[in-house]
Structure 1
């Protein structure tokens, strides 16, 4: 991906709120814990507050036990946050994304009125056969209507570069990624898709520091573009920190879908917080005992390869 450094700034002095944004689609693993601790460390160093924003729009993968695992993990490791649900009951009653459907619908309506959406019936198989990573393979926009049932809604992505403010103090222009071309903002079943929900939520809650894995850099670029297309949306001015990923012994990133060793299993086996944190430290190349997440330093957490 091509990018250009345009200027430097001091984003660390501007950030005031960040977030944990787990999904209840599997048990959390060491990579999730690393991201939480890095977020908490940056928040502590910058006096930023932390929002717990649980992304539960994907109801097909949602499980109550995965939701419980999020709260149990945060409590077990004494990870702080100042805004968001205190437990599973509070989340389902007040904080679920299901309560914010009107916000997502409003954003979709706005994009539609601006002519930035089109219907698409293409499946992943269709895209693969056409040699495409994303977008439409059959010119669906000329044959279908947005109100036809069972269709994805795609956002007409821009061709120009997108600017991201990074925590390092740089503002960088990234070419728009091919893999995110005309990404989906509403799924076939009528539910809003992740990229749209994330942008709307971060703006609604005033988040201006986004900490996520480097594997989601392309999502950040796509979300900045989407933010520019929405009135009064501030995601495009957020500061981004894309951290390195923890990997398994074979060098693959830890993943829920790939069955990475879960925190649920480690906690259930009677491991103490210190034992798990020390294991995490070893995965990061840090060779000292860790009793509490505050024992990690920013430089240690950001020096893993």
Structure 2
């Protein structure tokens, strides 16, 4: 049985980069009938907030990414302590005392000597007396995992075969001096205990994966299958990480981006498949295949979300927008006709408000100087209400006969006089919905 997980930290709002990870893990689970776990990485007590945890769940629900169960790392601190004791007993977890300044000096010295800046394992040489002396000096100990210095290899689902020499990697810190369990350790314990079989995450985690494979094995577990997706850049190839704060799912939702648009783009971005609108997660899961994704940085342009949002909104059935249209005050007897006329001229659903305002209140006429005499003459010929689908044709026919105008020189000035715009729905469809036309009746 396939088990995947999405493990965000509730220290902020999730963004498009996080979504890519969540969606890939979700689709793998759904495609195989497996389990998708939402695991909140909330061991950072100072930065983790319930409001962010709630926001993460709200964002996933908006997208329809339903998880099978929720786990919180803050509920598992006793389990991490137990696992840490086991690693200490096996000689894989050792206490160190270097300060950040001391570590920085060591790294600079190694670089000056042409050596890789890898931790020198000085902590392994400390005796019990040394550790007691350092504590008496006010030093605070923290804990590193002793890597087996061998090659760590795995067949990555996206970037292919990976081989990393553990000797080129510093022994990772797993527990801070204040007892906080760090991501690398807590995640490894969880993946073992929760039976996680597949993990997709960003390419910036490749080195983490190497160390976690050894941690998982030291805990007696079998490492899951890993895949590392490419990192997102801006449309010009620029680093995107500095802009992710403006690309949170919450902000995109408030801007009017459709969930189906966001999912359709993120499920295919970076793959060899074209991005096309899909209206359900089942459709996305059908064509999803990790092997179709590349390892190169992937350009993301938020503007690409709008054509997909427009396409999705313009194809919604009336039932999907009935309540929204009623809340705008559109009378029930014309609500469905209003939708059929306005839908082809919106991108966001919020745009419907502008069209109802036009139909309800009328528009400021837009009259070009060369039409200053023509428009009053034409408006005086407007048929009496009620207007029907035939009114536009009858009116423009009469105006043409009276003035000799035709084609664009006839139709465009009349459209601009009635709507204040040079574009919009077919006037034959729009006219019966116009509640007020100031230019004609004011």
1:1-305 correspondence runs (5 A): 16-84=2-70, 95-131=71-107, 133=117, 135=119, 139=123, 141-142=125-126, 143-144=130-131, 148=135, 150-167=140-157, 173-176=163-166, 178-179=168-169, 181-230=170-219, 233-236=220-223, 238-249=224-235, 251=237, 254-255=240-241, 259=245, 261-277=247-263, 280=266, 284=270, 286-296=274-284, 297-299=287-289, 302-303=292-293, 305=296
Unaligned residue ranges in structure 2 (runs of 5+) = 111-116, 297-442
Q: CA deviation at 1:259?
A: 3.0
Alpha carbons of structure 1 residues 252 and 167: separation in structure 2 relative to 1, 3 Å:
same
Q: CA deviation at 1:155?
A: 1.3
Range moving further from structure 2, 263-272 or 105-114: 263-272
Instruction: Kindly indicate whether the alpha-carbon contact (under 8 Å) linking 1:164 and 1:224 is maintained by their aligned counterparts in 2.
Output: no
The CA distance in 1 between the partners of 2:58 and 2:230, in whole Å, is: 25
Q: How many corresponding residue pairs?
A: 277
Q: Secondary structure at the match of 1:174?
A: strand
Instruction: Kindly indicate whether the alpha-carbon contact (under 8 Å) linking 2:23 and 2:65 is maintained by their aligned counterparts in 1.
Output: yes
Q: CA deviation at 1:17?
A: 1.0
Provide TM-score, normalisation by structure 2. Answer: 0.56
Instruction: Kindly indicate whether the alpha-carbon contact (under 8 Å) linking 1:127 and 1:134 is maintained by their aligned counterparts in 2.
Output: no
The CA distance in 1 between the partners of 2:192 and 2:246, in whole Å, is: 32
The CA distance in 1 between the partners of 2:242 and 2:30, in whole Å, is: 28
Alpha carbons of structure 1 residues 97 and 301: separation in structure 2 relative to 1, 3 Å:
same
Q: CA deviation at 1:228?
A: 2.2
Instruction: Kindly indicate whether the alpha-carbon contact (under 8 Å) linking 2:159 and 2:227 is maintained by their aligned counterparts in 1.
Output: no
The CA distance in 1 between the partners of 2:4 and 2:242, in whole Å, is: 23
Q: CA deviation at 1:127?
A: 2.6
Q: CA deviation at 1:282?
A: 8.4
Provide TM-score, normalisation by structure 1. Answer: 0.78
Alpha carbons of structure 1 residues 173 and 187: separation in structure 2 relative to 1, 3 Å:
same
Larger Rg belongs to: 2
Instruction: Kindly indicate whether the alpha-carbon contact (under 8 Å) linking 2:176 and 2:182 is maintained by their aligned counterparts in 1.
Output: yes
Computed over aligned residues only, the root mean square deviation of the Cα atoms, in angstroms, reads 3.2
Q: Secondary structure at the match of 2:12?
A: coil
The CA distance in 1 between the partners of 2:147 and 2:168, in whole Å, is: 10
Greater RCO, 1 or 2 (C-alpha within 8 Å, sep 6+): 1
Instruction: Kindly indicate whether the alpha-carbon contact (under 8 Å) linking 2:260 and 2:280 is maintained by their aligned counterparts in 1.
Output: yes
Q: CA deviation at 1:244?
A: 1.6
The CA distance in 1 between the partners of 2:167 and 2:46, in whole Å, is: 28
Q: Secondary structure at the match of 2:166?
A: coil
Q: CA deviation at 1:98?
A: 2.0
The CA distance in 2 between the partners of 1:257 and 1:141, in whole Å, is: 45
Q: CA deviation at 1:168?
A: 6.8
> Which deviations, in whole Å up to 9, do the C-alpha atoms of 1:107-142 show, x marking residues without a partner?
111111122222222244433322265535865752
> Which deviations, in whole Å up to 9, do the C-alpha atoms of 1:262-287 show, x marking residues without a partner?
11111122332134335546854744
Range moving further from structure 2, 257-266 or 109-118: 257-266
> Which deviations, in whole Å up to 9, do the C-alpha atoms of 1:50-109 show, x marking residues without a partner?
11111111122212222112101110000132222xxxxxxxxxx422221111111111
Unaligned residue ranges in structure 1 (runs of 5+) = 1-14, 85-94
Q: Secondary structure at the match of 1:23?
A: coil
Instruction: Kindly indicate whether the alpha-carbon contact (under 8 Å) linking 1:211 and 1:240 is maintained by their aligned counterparts in 2.
Output: yes
> Which deviations, in whole Å up to 9, do the C-alpha atoms of 1:210-229 show, x marking residues without a partner?
12112111111101111222
